[in-house]
Amino acid sequence: MTRATSHGSLDPQPSTQPRQAAILFILITVMLDVLSFGIIIPVLPKLVEDFMSGDTAQAASIYGLMGTAWALMQFFCSPIQGALSAQIKGVGSHC
């Protein structure tokens, strides 16, 4: 689609379809992420405690280490994943 400007030339009218598809994709991704946390968080503490033969103190330590490992991996791997994504899509500076 095109539209006339005040100078009489034609400018392409931006399409909202790709933007709506991107927003839908992001919302579905966030919903799946929240759903996975909703399934794991109630089950994981008891599961870890069962693996530790009922030793709650040891299970709490292991659970804390797992949470710390997850956070550290997010911290270090997210920039790498972002850089790879940008490189694949051709976004960003090409120095």
Q: pLDDT digits over 48-73, tens only?
A: 999 999 999 999 999 999 989 989 99
Residues 90, 47: Cα–Cα separation, whole Å: 43
66, part of any domain:
yes
Q: Whose CA is closest to 63, among 86, 80, 40?
A: 40
The better pLDDT of the pair 2, 90 is held by 90
Per-chain mean pLDDT for the chain? 82
The count of structural domains within the chain is 1
H-run or E-run covering 27: helix 17-51
In-domain check, residue 84: yes
Average pLDDT over residues 19-47: 88
Amino acid at 87: Q
33: containing domain:
19-89
Q: Are 52 and 44 in contact (CB under 8 A)?
A: no
Is residue 42 one of the residues assigned to a domain? Answer: yes
Give residue 26's Cα distance to chain centre: 8
Please check whether residue 52 lies inside any domain of the structure: yes
